[in-house]
Structure 1
Amino acid sequence: HAGGIEADRTAMARATRDLRYYSARRANAQLIEPSDDTETVRFGGEVTIDREDGRRQTFRIVGEDEADPAQGSVSHVSPLARALMGKSVGDTAMLAGAEVEIVAVG
């Protein structure tokens, strides 16, 4: 039946594409050793910020494939992470035109 063959081709094309993507990502992956630095915002670490409107938010800075802002993880290339990297508790940063203060790093 022709519909079944077409569905199989679509599934195979999707699997092949996913394998190419995975292979490319794996080839470019870099192992990042955990740092003993708990003073500054860094890749793999957590940062807690206070926003001007009173909200306190905690994020973990992760790789692009791991990012899930709804679950509290942001990509290291996101504007939020780029604005905070290398900063320490007490430092401020501008995010989307508003100032935030770093209140914890872990």
Structure 2
Amino acid sequence: MSRAFTREVDDAPPPPILERAISSARNLVTPNGARQIEQAMETLDRQIEASGDSEALAALRRELRYWHARHARMEIVEPPEAPTIVTFGTHVTIKRGGEPKHLHIVGEDEADPAVGTIAWTSPLARALEGARPGDVVEFQAGGREEEILVLSVKGASQ
């Protein structure tokens, strides 16, 4: 077949993997969050050393660049011992939709709403910021306004 009938795109290398988006917010982390970032970097270093697949290596290196950037910008915040208001690092119990929910306000990378940890930058954490036990907080969710009752606020050692 003549070279005139091939497309240059067929010979082109695959496009580079896009970098992971990095939040523009401060990278506040709990001491546990700092350990998680360091463990992620160590795990990725080991995986890179063991991998021989160039596509897998590109993805692993992208992940490692992300975690290095997060590590470089992390600000470790010790959770308050006996907080009186909702703030970063606190454990808060709220009543939302009739059900009590226990939340821990943490850094973006350590948040996992399925287990009750929410990022300090999340809309719910922002709405709760500064609230005291007994306060009712107005919260916009899904196009409607909800009232959330703050039941308790606890620190790391409570």
TM bucket, shorter chain: 0.7 to 0.9
Task: Show CA shifts across 1:4-62 (max 9, x none).
Answer: xxx811111011101100110000000112323421101111111112x3111110000
Detail structure 1 runs of 4+ shifted over 4 Å in the superposition: none
Deviation at 1:72, TM superposition (A): 0.4
Q: What is the CA–CA distance in structure 2 between the aligned matches of 1:85 and 1:47, rounded to whole Å? A: 10
The question of 1:64 aligning with 2:108 is answered yes
Q: TM-score, normalised by structure 2?
A: 0.60
The question of 1:55 aligning with 2:103 is answered no
Number of the residue aligned with 2:63: 18
The answer as to whether partners of 2:136 and 2:147 remain within 8 angstroms in 1 is yes
Q: What is the CA–CA distance in structure 1 between the aligned matches of 2:56 and 2:110, rounded to whole Å? A: 25
Q: Where does the alignment leave 5 or more consecutive residues of structure 1 unmatched?
A: 1-6
User: Root-mean-square deviation (CA), in Å?
Assistant: 1.3
Q: TM-score, normalised by structure 1?
A: 0.87
* Match runs of 1:27-106 below 5 Å: 27-51=72-96, 53-95=97-139, 96=141, 97-106=145-154
Number of the residue aligned with 2:28: none
Q: What is the CA–CA distance in structure 2 between the aligned matches of 1:24 and 1:104, rounded to whole Å? A: 35
Identity of aligned residues (%): 44
Higher Cα Rg, which structure: 2
Q: Where does the alignment leave 5 or more consecutive residues of structure 2 unmatched?
A: 1-51
